[in-house]
Structure 1
Amino acid sequence: MATRNSKPRLEADPSVSSRRASRTNARAPLLKPRRTQAERSETTRRKLIEAAIVLLRERGYGGLRTNEVSDRAGVSRGAQLHHFPTKYELILATLQYLNEQMLVGSRRRAVAARHSANPVADAIEDAKAFFFSDYFFVSLAITMGDARDEDLMRHTVPMSRDARFSAEKAWLETLVKRGIPRRLASDILQLTLSIVRGLAVRTLIDNNPKKFEELLHRWRNMVSLFVEHELGQRAARQESKVI
């Protein structure tokens, strides 16, 4: 029984409690999920490899110093030695990473080109994306870095060759699927790769991007007209056989 001075007890309003909880949660910092040890380890490896790429591009294979790699990556020397105890292991991991990135990109562009208006032009752009990138020059620096190191060459040359051949195979299949005869598609692809690679190497002594772009544009027009002519001739021969 309530006394005269006692105050009636009010029931809690659920909506008020909910709003209070919402304000409290809004003020609470959002905590990011902690990364696993494997994720942290992979991040460290990636930093070291990316630092090695930068230094290889700047100084070449002979100028690479592993202690500078850890400094550039912002990683302790001990962490670097844990992942890559030797320069040899760092070089192999770096080249493997470059080849994987190149192959994934080329395959993706080759698949997309199966539905484009000009797959030959796309193949030229893919070649340019590789040969005018740091990937090519770093791969070249590693592969040609020390011809006296037979063990290094025995691992790096097949690695780069297999990756490039896989990328070229993807583009060959794309051109064939677009109706270009396999032999003609192979010839066009090899000529394109040789031209773009040659222009890329020439940047070492004559870096003239505007001129190179003009030459690539001219090659695109030439090869597109040639393919159009060859396919037209092929269709005419097929039609004459039917008649």
Structure 2
Amino acid sequence: MGTLTGPESGTAATPARGLPKQARSRVTRRHLLEAAVSCLAEHGWAGSTVAVVAERAGVSRGAAQHHFPTREALFTAAVEYVSEERSTALRELFQAAPAPRPAVVEALVDLYTGALFRAALQLWVAASNEEQLRPQVTELEARVGRETHRIAVELLGADESVPGVRETVQGLLDMARGLGLANVLTDDTARRERVVAQWSRIIDAALG
């Protein structure tokens, strides 16, 4: 996965000059999406206006609204974009050879920590109060959840035709989300490592 200028570094990005118009448009869109995730993670929904995102991305507000006519469209697209980037990176991480299950469990837990998860959490909270945002976020969360489950099944080598295996995988993902929540306010690294180690043993025993 390429370096994220927004959620990982928190720095503004300037759209590349000298590129064809269509390529410049793609670069601008990507910078807006990354900046939106970064703003959500740092400032929450209330502090993340289109103007703030445009400034961080290094583009005009008009350019931002050209790509995303509404604030809701911008932020749901942003969380979806980075989720897809992270999912791709997770698949590529174990592409060369089958990975040991403890490494897979740890990588899945990592999906629910950091700036992306904080941004998604802000979006969920906003959607609980914003009627026009709720349908988009609900649909996005369902789609991302299904894809994450598929990746987990694939990487763990889980056979969901065996009774209880699907629920075990889902329980792992629910646990990972809970660890992500626990890490929002305080650094929960030490406890998380112990929990991940125990879940790795549980997964190994359950999947055989």
TM superposition score normalised by structure 1: 0.68
Aligned counterpart, 1:210: 190
Question: Larger Cα Rg: Structure 1 or Structure 2?
Answer: 1
Matched pairs, number: 192
Q: How does 1:143-182 map to 2 (within 5 A)?
A: 143-176=124-157, 182=162
Of residues 166-175 and 194-203 in structure 1, the stretch that sits farther from structure 2 once superposed is 166-175
Cα pair distance change 1:144/1:113, threshold 3 Å: farther
Contact in 2 for aligned 1:99/1:160 (Cα 8 Å): no
Deviation, structure 1 residue 168:
0.6
Select which of 85, 95, 118 maps to 2:79: 95
What one-letter code is carried by the residue in structure 2 that aligns with 1:198?
A: G
Cα pair distance change 1:65/1:211, threshold 3 Å: same
Select which of 40, 45, 70 maps to 1:86: 70
Cα pair distance change 1:222/1:169, threshold 3 Å: closer
What one-letter code is carried by the residue in structure 2 that aligns with 1:137?
A: R
1:112 matched to 2:92? The reply is no
Select which of 121, 128, 148 maps to 2:109: 128
Contact in 2 for aligned 1:47/1:73 (Cα 8 Å): yes
What one-letter code is carried by the residue in structure 1 that aligns with 2:139?
A: P
Whole-angstrom distance in 2 between the partners of 1:191 and 1:86 = 35
Provide Cα deviations, 1:160-209, integer angstroms capped at 9, x if missing partner.
Answer: 211221221232245456x6863343233122112221111012343221
Deviation, structure 1 residue 95:
2.5
What one-letter code is carried by the residue in structure 2 that aligns with 1:147?
A: S
5+ unaligned residues in a row in structure 1: which ranges? 1-32, 232-243
Cα pair distance change 1:174/1:218, threshold 3 Å: closer
Provide Cα deviations, 1:10-44, integer angstroms capped at 9, x if missing partner.
Answer: xxxxxxxxxxxxxxxxxxxxxxx952111101111
Deviation, structure 1 residue 142:
1.1
What one-letter code is carried by the residue in structure 2 that aligns with 1:154?
A: P
Aligned counterpart, 2:200: 220
Select which of 58, 72, 75 maps to 2:42: 58
Contact in 2 for aligned 1:176/1:182 (Cα 8 Å): no
Whole-angstrom distance in 2 between the partners of 1:60 and 1:190 = 28
What one-letter code is carried by the residue in structure 2 that aligns with 1:193?
A: L
Whole-angstrom distance in 2 between the partners of 1:90 and 1:58 = 16
5+ unaligned residues in a row in structure 2: which ranges? 1-16
Contact in 1 for aligned 2:126/2:133 (Cα 8 Å): no
Contact in 2 for aligned 1:106/1:167 (Cα 8 Å): no
What one-letter code is carried by the residue in structure 1 that aligns with 2:109?
A: K
Contact in 2 for aligned 1:103/1:164 (Cα 8 Å): no
Contact in 1 for aligned 2:76/2:140 (Cα 8 Å): no
Deviation, structure 1 residue 113:
8.7
Contact in 2 for aligned 1:175/1:185 (Cα 8 Å): no
More helix by share: 1
Deviation, structure 1 residue 64:
0.9
RMSD: 2.7
Contact in 2 for aligned 1:172/1:185 (Cα 8 Å): no
Contact in 1 for aligned 2:35/2:57 (Cα 8 Å): yes
